[in-house]
Structure 1
Amino acid sequence: MRAPGRRRPTMAHVAERAGVSRALVSIVFRNQPGASQETRERVLRVAEELGYRPDSAARLLARGRSRTLGVMLTLHQPFQADLVEAIYREAERLGYDVLLSADAPGRDERKAIEALLSHRCEALILLGPRSTAADLDALGHRTVAVAVARRVRGARVDSVRTAEAKGVRQALDHLVELGHRRIAHVDGGRGPGSAERRRAYRYSMRRHGLADEIRVIPGAHDEDAGIEAGRILAAQDELPTAVLAANDRCAMGLLMSLGRAGIDVPGEVSVVGYDDSHLSHLMPMGLTTVRQDFLLMAERAVRFAVERLEGEGVEPREAVVDPELVVRGTSGPVR
Structure 2
Amino acid sequence: MREDRRPTLSDVATRAGVSKSLVSLVMRAEPGASAETRRRVLEAAEELGYHPDSRARLLRSGRTRLLGVLFDIQAQFHADLVTDLYTAARESGYELALSAVTPDRDEPEAIAGLLQDRCEALILVGPQSPVAQLSRLAERLPVVVVARGVRDPAIDVVRNADADGLHMAVDHLTGLGHRRIIHIDGGRAAGAADRRRGYREAMHRHRLDDLARILPGGLTEQDGAEAARQLLTGLPSAVTVFNDRCATGVLDVLTRAGVEVPAEVSVVGYDDDRLARLAHIDLTTIAQDTATMSRLAVEKAIERAEHAPAGRRERVVPPRLVIRGTTVPPAPLS
One of 26, 29, 38 as aligned partner of 1:28: 26
CA contact (8 A) 2:74 2:102 kept: no
Q: Deviations over 1:91-119 (max 9, x none)?
A: 11111110000112232211111110111
Counterpart of 2:133 in structure 1 is 135
1:311 corresponds, among 307, 311, 323, to 307
Residue 124 of structure 1 deviates from its aligned partner by 0.3
**Number of the residue aligned with 1:267:** 263
Deviation at 1:190, TM superposition (A): 2.1
Q: Aligned AA for 1:297?
A: M
Q: Which runs of 5+ in 1 are unaligned?
A: none
Change beyond 3 A, Cα 1:265–1:135: same
Structure 2 portions without partners, runs of 5+: none
Cα-Cα RMSD = 2.0
Which residues in structure 2 correspond to 1:194-233 (within 5 Å)? Answer: 194-233=192-231
Query: How many pairs align?
Result: 331
Distance of aligned partners of 1:15 and 1:170 in 2 relative to their CA distance in 1, 3 Å threshold: same
> For residue 256 of structure 1, what is the aligned residue in structure 2?
252
TM-score, normalised to structure 1's length? 0.93
Tell me what 2:174 maps to.
176
Counterpart for residue 90 of structure 1: 88
Compared CA separation, residues 321 and 36, structure 1 to 2 (3 A): farther
Matched, 1:278 2:274: yes
Q: Call closer, same or farther: CA 1:35–1:169 in 2, change over 3 Å.
A: farther
Q: Could you say if the C-alpha distance between residues 8 and 204 of structure 1 is closer, same or farther in structure 2, counting changes exceeding 3 Å?
A: same
Which residue does 1:247 correspond to in 2?
243
TM-score, normalised relative to structure 2: 0.93
Closer/same/farther in 2, CA of residues 202 and 36 from structure 1, 3 Å limit: farther
For 2:33 and 2:263, locate their aligned partners in 1 and report how far apart those are by CA, in whole Å. 68
Q: Distance in 1 between matches of 2:38 and 2:248?
A: 52
Sequence identity percentage? 54
Q: Aligned pair in 2 of structure 1 residues 28, 85: CA closer, same or farther (>3 Å)?
A: farther
Q: Would you say the 8 A contact 1:101–1:113 is kept in 2? A: yes
Counterpart residue number, 1:66: 64
Q: Which amino acid aligns with 1:269?
A: V
In 2, are the aligned partners of 1:288 and 1:331 still within 8 Å (CA)?
yes
Note closer, same or farther for the CA distance 1:108–1:285 as it changes in structure 2 (3 Å cut): closer
Q: 2:284 aligns with which of 282, 285, 288?
A: 288
Q: Whole-Å Cα distance in 2 between the matches of residues 138 and 10 of structure 1?
A: 42
Give the CA deviation at 1:311.
2.1
Runs of 4+ in structure 1 over 4 Å off: 32-42, 312-316
1:43-84 deviations in Å (ceiling 9; x for gaps): 344324323232222211111111100000001211111111
**Residues 115-194 of structure 1: pairs in structure 2 closer than 5 A:** 115-194=113-192
